[in-house]
Structure 1
Amino acid sequence: MIIKQVDSKTKDLEVLEQLLQRSDLTQQVRQNIEQKIRLIRAGIKGEAESAYQLQFHFGNHPDWVIIHDLRLQYQSKVAQIDHILINRQLQIFVCESKRIAGGLIVNEQGEFSRMYKGKGQGIPSPLEQNQRHISILNKLLQTNQIQLPSRFGWRLRPSIHSLILVSNEAYIRRPKNFVSGLDRVIKNEQLKTKVHQLSKHLGIFSFIRTVPRASLEKFARQLTQQHRPAQYDWLGYFGLDHLARKIDQPATESQIQTENQSKIDSHYFCISCHKNITASAAYYCWNHKSIFGGKAYCYQCQQKIKQQQQ
């Protein structure tokens, strides 16, 4: 049973495409917007490929439920989970989709990189990323916001498994030595086999651990109610807050003079790499204290912090 489908990204893509039509963008900002559009579209393709496998094998199965595109918040932390698969034994599979057009490479230290235009490019570990998602999910399950199913008066604790789903056309180069968790990095086509391997029969405990289908659905819907859709301030994201005023109404001569004087008198820099940044970039960070901790960062460092929190 499918409890939640993927949220549409159409509106965000439309806003970004409209931004690209502006003639007053710097070349760097234009390239950043184009890159973000490519990433969103690649993410849509990757999630769609994984969603197809999940729905083909488990979508009509009465003992499984599927949740797509679940964004959870716990205190100041956020988990953007691509897919969740749950069975009646409360075995939860948290799936992270990765659209890799070329190759995914893992070295002996468990560090990840991808082949891009014939060159290796380091990327954040999807295993670590998914573990952060699972950590936030675990903390939410320990609150009273979600009522865990019970059997014979006992609250059942879910068992959670991490899966990294890589596009089928990609190749995965693994190290010769053992790296913990690397067996959870699989291609989409291997999903069914891996899930059945991990969700082994519980033997004599199967009856005790198996919840009614209605309880499974209720649990999944409670989890879906915790979904907090992302609201992107794309102007602020790219340090273009000043365009909002231009769109709403023309600036007066005194406003322009004040703004120009502010640019001369004020100096902003990234707390991480110490590069000079615009006032808009600094204000964007300060207005998103839950992400940046009240510190100002340049665009590149902002992206690194956001990736670490995913």
Structure 2
Amino acid sequence: MKLISKMIIKQADSKVKDLEILCRLLQSPDLLPQKRQNIEQHLRLIRSGIKGEAESAYQLQFHFGNHPDWVIIHDLRLKYQGKVAQIDHLLINRYLQIFVCESKRVAGSLIINEQGEFSRRYEGNEQGMPSPVEQNRRHISLLNNLLHSELIQLPGRFGWKLRPSLYSLILISNNTYIRRPKNPVSGLSSVIKNEQLQTKIQQLSKHSRIFGIIRKVSSISIQTFARQLVQLHRSARYDWPSYFGLNKPVSQLTDSVIVTHTQLQTENLSTKTHYFCSDCHKNITGSVVYYCHNHKNIFGGKTYCYQCQQKFNNNN
């Protein structure tokens, strides 16, 4: 039996249970139209998030998942000093460079104006959206404070603790059109498409290679450091009925719940909590299942873990 790559320290948490509960809430006969609309909107956001993170995760794992100089953490939720950071992806190398990646899947066009404000346009309708640049800055601020606390033991060289360098990357889905302002705006160089990830990482990490002899720590050290962060992960738990003011016990919605494939409408994802690779039979995440089902021309409709996917990539 093959082992999971040591370079991928954590996969994304499953959101199947949240989808199950929200779908069951939509079946409530006394549901008011406004609440139904809110629930449907949350379902769309969760599904869109799953797709966006799956696309970014694949790029990260394809380029860095089997590299001894890198480790990857997906879906890391940190709480520190009363604040929370929900980080989509962390990419860390042996020079202690940490790339904090925020995934965004935008249907239609992503528009950024001269003030650095973000909006999305779809089918002629334009709507403002929170700035992912500012969002990621808050994530990096919390992470930086956490790294300076006693909760994390930083890797060291020659008796000295090394301070990480943190970089922000906003990963946009490849099929999104991005309209940028004519004049430079601070932070927008971090906004790239998923397909540009490897090139951008190479540009940002090039400088550290000059001081590689001094700063480069062992693969074991960087894995240990990453696992410390994962140990601080706190999964999100949502009481969806109370959130929408329905006040129905969650147990009534989850006990013996069977949600059909059509009800979930999750792009051919089943509602099972566990998925398995068709080749080596190890556990895989829902995002991996999603990727394989959306590339049936490559994988023949079967699901494969990242390592087994490489066989197909090598054959192409």
TM range (shorter): 0.7 to 0.9
SS of 1:215's equivalent?
helix
* Superposition pairs of residues 1-310 of structure 1, within 5 angstroms: 1-202=7-208, 205-241=211-247, 243-244=248-249
Q: What is the CA–CA distance in structure 1 between the aligned matches of 2:100 and 2:79, rounded to whole Å?
A: 16
C-alpha change, 1:195 and 1:247, in structure 2 (3 Å) is: closer
Q: What is the CA–CA distance in structure 1 between the aligned matches of 2:193 and 2:138, rounded to whole Å?
A: 21
Determine what percentage of the aligned residue pairs are the same residue.
72
- For structure 2, list consecutive stretches of 5 or more residues without a partner in the other structure: 1-6, 254-316
Q: What is the CA–CA distance in structure 1 between the aligned matches of 2:62 and 2:95, rounded to whole Å?
A: 21
Q: What is the CA–CA distance in structure 1 between the aligned matches of 2:236 and 2:155, rounded to whole Å?
A: 29
Q: What is the CA–CA distance in structure 2 between the aligned matches of 1:202 and 1:94, rounded to whole Å?
A: 17
SS of 2:211's equivalent?
helix
Q: What is the CA–CA distance in structure 1 between the aligned matches of 2:239 and 2:61, rounded to whole Å?
A: 32
C-alpha change, 1:80 and 1:203, in structure 2 (3 Å) is: closer
Q: What is the CA–CA distance in structure 2 between the aligned matches of 1:42 and 1:246, rounded to whole Å?
A: 26
Q: Give 1:274's aligned residue.
A: none
After TM superposition, the runs of 4+ consecutive aligned structure 1 residues lying more than 6 A away are none
SS of 1:200's equivalent?
helix
C-alpha change, 1:246 and 1:48, in structure 2 (3 Å) is: closer
Q: Give 2:283's aligned residue.
A: none
Q: Give 1:265's aligned residue.
A: none
Moved more, 174-183 or 115-124: 115-124
Letter in 1 for 2:108: G
- For structure 1, list consecutive stretches of 5 or more residues without a partner in the other structure: 249-310
2:239–2:250 CA contact under 8 A, matched in 1: no
Q: What is the CA–CA distance in structure 2 between the aligned matches of 1:114 and 1:202, rounded to whole Å?
A: 36
C-alpha change, 1:187 and 1:23, in structure 2 (3 Å) is: same
Q: What is the CA–CA distance in structure 2 between the aligned matches of 1:177 and 1:19, rounded to whole Å?
A: 47
Letter in 2 for 1:93: F
C-alpha change, 1:150 and 1:224, in structure 2 (3 Å) is: same
Deviation at 1:121, TM superposition (A): 0.7
Deviation at 1:83, TM superposition (A): 0.3
TM-score (norm 1): 0.78
SS of 1:157's equivalent?
coil
The count of aligned residue pairs is 247
Q: What is the CA–CA distance in structure 2 between the aligned matches of 1:113 and 1:162, rounded to whole Å?
A: 20
Q: Which one has more relative contact order, counting CA pairs under 8 Å at least 6 apart?
A: 2
Deviation at 1:201, TM superposition (A): 3.8
Letter in 2 for 1:171: Y
Q: Greater Rg, structure 1 or structure 2?
A: 1
SS of 1:217's equivalent?
helix
Deviation at 1:11, TM superposition (A): 0.5
